[in-house]
């Protein structure tokens, strides 16, 4: 192979490798948290002589922390059995954490250079709500996503979702109350939301009601590789050299 062609391939190869393997420095974080959770009950018929009641029968949870790799999403998953549970995953400069602890539901992640993550936490409780009783759930939702630099291919989001539904065997869902909040960003700088919420679920019947409460937090982020300006100059030099050599070959062949 002629030396000039070897030089051309070497320059182009180095430029392309640098363009797609050495991105500019970026950073991104996303966090979603449900905290300060408190449950109270209200007697809808205080004069009937029957006390309001709320009985939690079972509680469980799932945490999932995923980090993107060349082969797909690498995910660490764990289940809440008692106490607290945390799933943590870190590959290179990307980290993902999902946690259920001290009455909080949290999902978060960060990208140190470029990459992507998905973090999710779910907490659920099955309970019985007494006749003529209203359940009141209060808490705080905190959401945020932040990019250190702009890139049209970047995306970050944080969201929370709460659902309370009746859980009668074979009877279908007749009562449902939900709360949700979300922030999404594609540009540099922080975006966030903080909200104190109140969610009520009412059993106005004369019979106890089986129900289920689910609380979830979700965070994800993606930072795409962006070549350094010097890398683009190197790639342009390689392409220019290719054009110059091609023109010389055509001139030599014409002679």
Residues 207 and 249 in one domain: no
User: pLDDT digit string (tens) for 236-247?
Assistant: 544 454 455 555
Residues 150 and 91 in one domain: yes
Give the model's pLDDT for residue 64: 94
Mean pLDDT for the chain? 79
Residues 31 and 97 in one domain: yes
Within-domain flag for 202: yes
Residues 155 and 30 in one domain: yes
Q: Which domain holds residue 249?
A: 228-255
Residues 177 and 243 in one domain: no
Within-domain flag for 28: yes
Give the model's pLDDT for residue 153: 73
Structural domain count of the chain: 2
Residues of the chain with pLDDT under 50: 1-26, 227-235, 237-239, 241-242
Within-domain flag for 120: yes
Q: Do the Cβ atoms of 94 and 112 come closer than 8 Å?
A: yes
Residues 247 and 138 in one domain: no
Give the model's pLDDT for residue 225: 65
Residues 65 and 40 in one domain: yes
Residues 143 and 234 in one domain: no
Q: Cα torsion for 14, 18, 20, 23, to the nearest 10°?
A: 180
Give the model's pLDDT for residue 4: 38
Q: Do the Cβ atoms of 143 and 193 come closer than 8 Å?
A: yes
Give the model's pLDDT for residue 150: 65
Q: Would you tell me the crossing angle of helices 229-254 and 3-21 to the nearest 10 degrees?
A: 160
């Amino acid at each position: 192979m002629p030396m000039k062609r070897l030089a051309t391939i070497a320059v182009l190869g180095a430029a392309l490798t640098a363009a797609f393997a050495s991105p500019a420095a970026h950073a991104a974080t996303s966090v979603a948290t449900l905290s300060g959770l408190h449950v109270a009950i209200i007697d809808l018929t205080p004069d009937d002589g029957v006390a309001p009641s709320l009985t939690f029968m079972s509680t469980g949870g799932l945490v999932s922390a995923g980090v993107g790799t060349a082969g797909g999403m690498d995910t660490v998953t764990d289940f809440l059995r008692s106490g607290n549970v945390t799933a943590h995953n870190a590959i290179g400069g990307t980290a993902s954490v999902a946690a259920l602890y001290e009455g909080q539901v949290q999902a978060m992640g960060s990208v140190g250079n470029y990459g992507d993550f998905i973090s999710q936490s779910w907490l659920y409780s099955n309970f019985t709500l007494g006749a003529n009783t209203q359940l009141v759930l209060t808490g705080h939702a905190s959401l945020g996503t932040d990019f250190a630099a702009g890139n049209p291919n970047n995306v970050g989001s944080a969201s929370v979702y709460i659902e309370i539904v009746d859980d009668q065997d074979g009877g279908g869902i007749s009562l449902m109350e939900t709360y949700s909040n979300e922030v999404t960003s594609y540009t540099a700088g922080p975006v966030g939301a903080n909200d104190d919420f109140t969610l009520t679920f009412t059993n106005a019947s004369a019979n106890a009601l089986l129900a289920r409460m689910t609380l979830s937090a979700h965070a994800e982020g993606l930072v795409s590789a962006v070549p350094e300006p010097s890398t683009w100059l190197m790639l342009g030099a390689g392409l220019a050299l290719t054009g110059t050599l091609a023109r010389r070959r055509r001139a030599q062949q014409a002679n």
